[in-house]
């Protein structure tokens, strides 16, 4: 559940840069091995897990190694999983363990039940439908109100660890594959996904209302803050899903894409983390690649949008403006973390400058083909 999480998933960037393979995971350092835990056997797990009620209490409890490993051990014993090492992935919104080389245990605090529901629905929805691998659900359930998913673990290397040093030609290959992959997801039927917790119209209205306060809290300069109401308001009427809504992941970031090298060339192999999924406007899913991978490169931007299904014409400002507004309205929007263009703050004086820097096209405009 790029990346855009409650703890702000993009803060994982620094940590993930030091992880060279997806199999390299941070151990829980509790002396946990082969499904064993050092937790005091007299501790009443049900009582502990039922006690917190506020977000802060859940966060504090989630960070206690002896508690989170005890939950994982309870799941292991419940499903009689074969003995294997239990290791914690880097900390995030939820508790995620690898169990051996082939299994992931993902545990959600009750306050993140919507993420559990969305993750589970999408995992099942994707099975056998995409050109890349996604995890397979093995078990699901809850431990004293804490829902969990046991799923297969995908192999591969996180794109986050490769992108900065990758040559341009390989970047073009991956960005084209990513545009096509997003298109694959967007044309899937959405029947059965309607019960996901987020409703686009209410979501986007709330994001517009809170936009200025959100960016003020993230340190956006006052000069840009003052421009937000007019800049966002000018395209507000185009942000509804009058057209058919699609399945949005909102997390097509290098932190959720797994790569494999084939004959010396990296290709997209797997896609993970669907806790923030919802139904809504297709362009919303273009934001992660634009911010974290394209980084203002006009060649990569055209390659990406063309592979998604856009064609050139003369209306570049309309699309650039809409994408910039959606970036400002993203549920985890934080330009200081998401605009990966060196010294961008000193290169822009207006939101239109920022739009041109991130989403501007050096030639022509792009328009989606295929009637979408």
Spatial CB neighbours of 182, under 8 Å, sequence gap ≥ 6: 252, 285, 286, 289, 308
Same domain, 363 and 237: yes
pLDDT at 41: 52
pLDDT at 91: 61
CATH code of the domain covering residue 169: 3.90.1200.10
Name the average pLDDT for the chain.
85
Domain final residue pick, 118, 152, 186: 152
> Which DSSP string corresponds to 28-97?
--SS--TT-----TTS-HHHHHHS--SHHHHHHHHT-HHHHHHHHHHHHHHTTPPP--EEEPSP-SSEEE
The 10s digit of each residue's pLDDT in 230-288 is 999 999 988 987 668 999 998 899 999 999 999 999 999 999 999 899 999 999 999 99
Same domain, 72 and 171: no
DSSP summary character for residue 7: T
Residue 108 has pLDDT above 50, yes or no: yes
pTM for the structure as a whole: 0.83
pLDDT at 312: 78
Higher pLDDT, 362 or 344: 344
Same domain, 161 and 266: yes
1 in a structural domain: no
pLDDT at 196: 78
Measured CA to CA in angstroms, residue 194 lies from 180, 198, 201 at distances of 24, 9, 14
Same domain, 209 and 126: no
pLDDT at 56: 86
In terms of residue numbers, what domain contains 162?
A: 157-368
The total number of structural domains that make up the chain: 2
Same domain, 161 and 142: no
14 in a structural domain: no
pLDDT at 242: 65
Same domain, 68 and 195: no
7 in a structural domain: no
Same domain, 143 and 187: no
């Amino acid at each position: 559940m790029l990346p855009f999480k409650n703890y702000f998933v993009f803060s994982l960037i620094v940590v993930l840069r030091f992880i060279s393979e997806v199999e390299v995971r941070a151990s829980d350092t509790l002396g946990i091995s082969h499904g064993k835990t050092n937790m005091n056997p007299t501790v009443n797990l049900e009582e502990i897990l039922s006690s917190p009620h506020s977000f802060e209490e859940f966060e504090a409890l989630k960070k206690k190694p002896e508690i989170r490993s005890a939950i994982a051990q309870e799941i292991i014993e419940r499903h009689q999983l074969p003995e294997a090492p239990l290791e914690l992935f880097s900390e995030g919104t939820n508790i995620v363990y690898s169990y051996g080389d082939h299994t992931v245990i993902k545990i959600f605090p009750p306050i993140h039940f919507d993420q559990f529901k969305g993750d589970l629905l999408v995992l099942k929805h994707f099975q056998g439908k995409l050109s890349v691998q996604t995890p397979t659900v093995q078990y699901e359930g809850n431990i004293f109100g804490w829902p969990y998913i046991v799923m297969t673990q995908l192999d591969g290397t996180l794109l986050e660890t490769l992108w900065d040093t990758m040559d341009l030609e390989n970047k073009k290959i991956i960005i084209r594959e990513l545009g096509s992959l997003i298109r694959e997801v967007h044309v899937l039927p959405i029947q059965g996904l309607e019960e996901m917790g987020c409703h686009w119209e209410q979501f986007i209205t709330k994001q517009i209302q809170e936009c200025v306060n959100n960016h003020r809290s993230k340190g956006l300069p006052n000069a840009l803050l003052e421009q937000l109401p007019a800049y966002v308001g000018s395209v507000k009427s185009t942000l509804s899903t009058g057209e058919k809504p699609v399945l949005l992941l909102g997390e097509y970031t290098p932190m959720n894409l797994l790569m494999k090298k084939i004959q010396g060339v990296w290709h997209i192999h797997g896609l993970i983390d669907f806790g923030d999924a919802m139904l809504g406007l297709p362009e919303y899913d273009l934001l992660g690649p634009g911010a974290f991978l394209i980084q203002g490169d006009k060649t990569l931007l055209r390659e990406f949008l063309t592979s998604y299904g856009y064609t050139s014409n003369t209306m570049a400002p309309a699309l650039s403006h809409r994408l910039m507004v959606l970036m400002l309205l993203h549920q985890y929007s934080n330009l200081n973390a998401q605009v990966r263009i060196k010294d961008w703050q000193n290169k822009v004086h207006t939101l239109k400058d920022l739009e041109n820097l991130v989403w501007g096209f050096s030639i022509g405009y792009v328009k989606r083909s295929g009637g979408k």
